[in-house]
Structure 1
Amino acid sequence: MTSQILHRTAHLEPGTGRTVHGLAVPFGQVVEIDDAYGSYRERFERGAFRRTIADRAHKVKLFTQHDRRRLPIGKATELRETDDGLFAAFEVAATTAGDDALELIRSGVVDNFSIGFRPMRDRRDGDIVTRTEVALLEVSLVSDPRLPGRARGRRALARRPRYPFYRGRSTTSVARPLKEEPHATL
């Protein structure tokens, strides 16, 4: 197991009042990873976030730019897996930082989520690493989206991972319309 934190980026939508929501991670989408350790392809499988949702969904916080040295600006109100991917909704706190973040979202300056996660279980499907279980650590609002289907290498920790496919990176995906499924609101 590794203690490295990995990142993914996806489109978000302003909600009503002080909420933001969107598809945080698409399922089944193959993403090309190209970082300091080489190139490979990866995808997330439905069920990869099941344990996080069951065990700690109420603890998932919203940050800006993955800056965990600052206080979070919000908390998860809904996390659920759909056929399309992990849907996330957050209530943004009524603070100066929260107000600034909401204004940037509403004006279209910031329009992406990025998740910080730790890979727990993977499977190799030919040349594709399929994420079957990950621990969702945090979600951030980010201003620097990655191109769809591509990822840029980013090291979250200085220590080299044990396995070559545990690497920090970010990718962008566009949210698609979601199908309603039973879920629990936090």
Structure 2
Amino acid sequence: MNVERRFATGATVEGRQLVGLAAPFGSQTRIADFREVIAPGAFTRTLSENRDILALVDHDAGKVLGRTRSGTLELREAEGGLAYRITLPDTTTGNDLRALAERGDLGGVSMGFVATRDSWDGELRTLHEVELHEISIVQAHAAYPTTTVSLRSRGNGGLRNDPRFRWLELQP
């Protein structure tokens, strides 16, 4: 199993929740020597399986921000892509991310996934179905230009070092 990683950008702040788009549908990006696009519905199966998906900082399993099992990470397919909501922990890491988001210093969102169904048309890869393992708030640049991070109030409304995974370093 090779877990792949993709990045996305954008950040605004409000309250203690990070809210945004982790993976846009229909937005092409350049990955090494090919282009890639995520098809609508690519996350339907993995979300319906009620997997315990993590929210991390920079793909570091030692910096957990939330998880679907506890309800501190909520994921859903929206019209534009994979939407998320993370309730930030009251920890040094959570508070630091909040401050970085308020300043606009976060690089965006990334996801770690395994492509379970894809297709190729020349150099264009379309992801039709993925097995999502984690999303990460990252300080690096993004591959998908239309993902977002914003911080909201709830009141209204390591894997990197794991030899089992292959990480792709991406250029914006």
Fold agreement, TM-score > 0.5: yes
Match of 2:45 among 44, 48, 51: 51
TM-aligned CA distance change 1:171 to 1:60, over 3 Å: farther
- Map 1:76-87 onto structure 2 (within 5 A): 76-87=72-83
Q: CA RMSD of the aligned region, Å?
A: 2.7
TM-aligned CA distance change 1:53 to 1:90, over 3 Å: same
Match of 1:64 among 57, 60, 74: 57
Give the 3-state SS of the residue equivalent to 2:42 in structure 1: coil
- Is 1:89 matched up with 2:85? yes
Moved beyond 3 Å, runs of 4+: 12-16, 146-149, 155-161, 169-172
Structure-2 residue corresponding to 1:180: none
Match of 1:27 among 22, 25, 41: 25
Unaligned runs of 5+ in 1: 150-154, 162-166, 173-186
Unaligned runs of 5+ in 2: 146-159
Q: CA deviation at 1:84?
A: 1.5
Which protein has greater RCO, CA pairs closer than 8 Å, 6+ apart?
2
Indicate the percent of aligned positions where both proteins have the same amino acid. 32
How many residues in Structure 1 have an aligned counterpart in Structure 2? 154
Matched letter for residue 141 of structure 1:
I
Deviations 1:88-147 (A, max 9, x none): 111111112211111111122214111111111111234311111111111111111136
Structure 1 length as normaliser, TM-score?
A: 0.71
TM-aligned CA distance change 1:102 to 1:157, over 3 Å: same
